[in-house]
Structure 1
Amino acid sequence: MLPPERLARQARELLADAVRVAHWAREAGLSPEQDAARAAGELGMSTAELRENWSRARLAGLLEIDGEDGAVSAGWRLRAWERDDTAALRGWVALFDAWCLARPAPPDADPSLVTDVVAAMPQLLSVMRLSEGPVTAAGLIDLMRRRVAELRAERPDGAGPDTPAPEPVEPPEAEDRATTAERVRLLGWALDALSSVGALTLHARGDRPARARLTDLGSWAMWTKLEQICVAAQSPAGNIEQSAVAMLRGCANLTPGPARAEYRAWLAVRPTAPAVDELLAAAKGEDALIRGLAFQALRVVGAPASEAVRAVVDDPVLRPYALLWLADHEGGDPRETAESSLGVLNRQEATWLWVDTASAAQEHGAERLLLDHLDTAPQPNVAELVDEIRICGHPRTVQVLLALAAVHPDQTVAKRVRRAAFQVHSGGA
């Protein structure tokens, strides 16, 4: 596997034009779509190239767009793009995760078949990673057919525990020919979309792909995701000497008891005020998991952290966490709707917090937890949750919606959620 600096260089090359568009938008303070002719002319791109690279810039998380007036500002990844390899790699992974939005499915495609193909692709990519070589189109078609059959067998459809096991997967000739042909067409779309974001290379025979192979970036991304899933939780060593971010990251896989012990040890060797400031600085970063863990560590600090936590209540990223921390510390119920001196989370803040915690699960390979996380949503049903997620303003709204759609067992709901992700990404209502 290539070293991180070479992978980051490849990520920068793939997103070079998207970064140019992002810088233009940041300097202009507006979306290039608001003045496409001017933006395209100044950047030396066609209008179609401009729109594609603008889409990539947003999917890669390079920009922050104000939901009210559409004002554009640089995101953390864009500010750190040239000096921080992590920024470049995480930006590319965000684009990779949103491949089905980077190049949307054919408009005439059957939505249920699109859902099948999108849901099957992670396993196909994993097989490609493990094969360490090109996989033929015939092999991918067979893998997809089998994976779709498995997914459909796993979906709850009213079958009880005594329901007989599904019959073995029938050969492709037993399937409806039109459906098979459509799945093959959509597999071609998926491979083309993944190729367009730099995850794989396609080798064609005539006008049809004959085989596909992961790129270095694609192989690294799948290795990283497989490692996140397979790694065993271990208590990290040397946390006392680590920075707040490194300590919190080391505690990510610990259960609450051992994690609190790590927090106490880390805090014990530091003056309280600087330690609290370092934890809050870590919480302001882009990683939602680190944010949540930072406030768990601040609970161990207790009363000495109150003044510093109050000081960040007006920070839009930290506000929900800070209000809950303060309400918890002072013995109140943070979910009470009555007015208090602390204030409470309004519906939009509660929704933003739900998306932020969901993004932590999604970014760290625990997408399956999103189904359990639905039970904690402030809305009574998925339809209302999706409607309010779309307007909450969280920068990872699209990624969370895509992850939720990928794991939700009800395909009608999954379709609605995926459509919402596309609407958020495209700026639709």
Structure 2
Amino acid sequence: MSANSHPTLPPVRLHSDAELARDALGAPLFARAVRLARWAGPDTRVGVGGELATAQLPEAAAVLGLDAADADSAGYASQAWRVAVDTGLVDVTEPEDDGGEGDEERFGTAAPGEDLALVTGGAPGDVLDLWLAALDTVLADAAVPDLDDLVDALDAGGEIDFDRLDWNPGREADFLDEVLANLYLLTVTEGRSADEPVPLPVLAASIVVPDDMGEPTDAVLEQVSDAMMRLDDQFRQLEPIGLVEFRPVDEELMAETDGPLEPEAASAATAVDDEDVSRYGMVRLTPLGLYGIRARMLEAGVDAPAVGELAEKGADALLDAVSFYSESAAQAEIEQWLAGRELPAAAAELLAAARGDDEGGPLRRLRCQQALAPAGPEAEPAVRSVLDDPELGGLARVWLAERGVSDVPAPDPEMVFWLTVDTIAAQLAADGETEELPLLMETLTAHHTGFFDQVWRVEHPATAYVLEAMGRLHPDKKAAKEARKAAFKARSRRPA
């Protein structure tokens, strides 16, 4: 009876495809790739791997408006070219193999690719597909050690000693995927604003520190420090593609520690005020970044829902899904579902989907009640039609009474007790044993003399479960004791 039995990520609120496509086109690295694709032509020379010839990098940098005197310009141009090639914005023809004869370096050619036309003539989804391909390239680059580490790992023959480098491509890619998944979860978690940045130490600790560890050891804090520095470098690379907004680790802080952060710094970074913690780096996923990471998780088989994706599905799929959403996310999804439907038919469909004596039934009925709460007189015929339904009659009476309808028939005692059990079961399934639940239990039982002498007989699959919870949580000790006795009776009468 717990939402934990249905593992899924909270639903994310995404911008429209048109807005996201505009963001993608505005991402600096993607925009550079598009400009180089338009520049590519008969005189463009490429190497064996499709990379831009070294002699052409200054011209490419100039096309991008970069300062040729800047030592980083060639690197920016090379990266943008690689993105253009990997996304299909550029088609390359690699140099032909001359069989090893001659010393002259041979070059291939390049030309704008067919997909370049999608940038201006395609649908927003086409642009986003190109951007996702660009993201794959950037993520692969971000998982590669920096140049200094590669140089340090060269052996006597000039080859990279991977054992010395301690770099495993698969492990690095998995690490970055896990980091981004955690950042996604922190972003969509209820109670946090999607615009609120995450401190880099918090993100690093979420990957490194075991969940069951109390006070981190110095060894673990050192791992957190190492992870922070890796992420500082990686997020610098991911920002130009529009995935994140990133405030790097303060250079003065690095100078103060004379290199990598000490374990004490990693520990202190989680305990200082907002102004200080920002010196250790802050990161947030952009709306485009949320879209991108969700797309990657969906491809990996992760259940990552988005608000609005149930709008075309039936009420049964809607209630099953939003049963495990937070109340606000469920309301947002329900509103979008109702927006495209005639209310009388929608109300009837919701009520029909809310029936069922399975474990999820109480929570479906709670979400159905939530969906019908703002409905006006148009929904009344559908609600009245279930007044005699043993599972929905109580819900219908509550809805009508809240609207001041005077001719609502009084429920029989069996329906009252059934509705009480169903309501508490739904609250337990939605939020667990909250601080507010004891007050709800007290309110529901206060007006019924001999409540526990009768409720254990209710034919509801959650009767014993609810009574056991009342035995633990009811604020009145006498009532709690009676609830435990009633739970025992309810368990005893159920067939083995």
Bigger proportion of residues as helix: 1
- TM-score class normalised by the smaller sequence: 0.3 to 0.5
TM-score (norm 2): 0.33
TM-score (norm 1): 0.38
Whose radius of gyration is greater, 1 or 2?
2
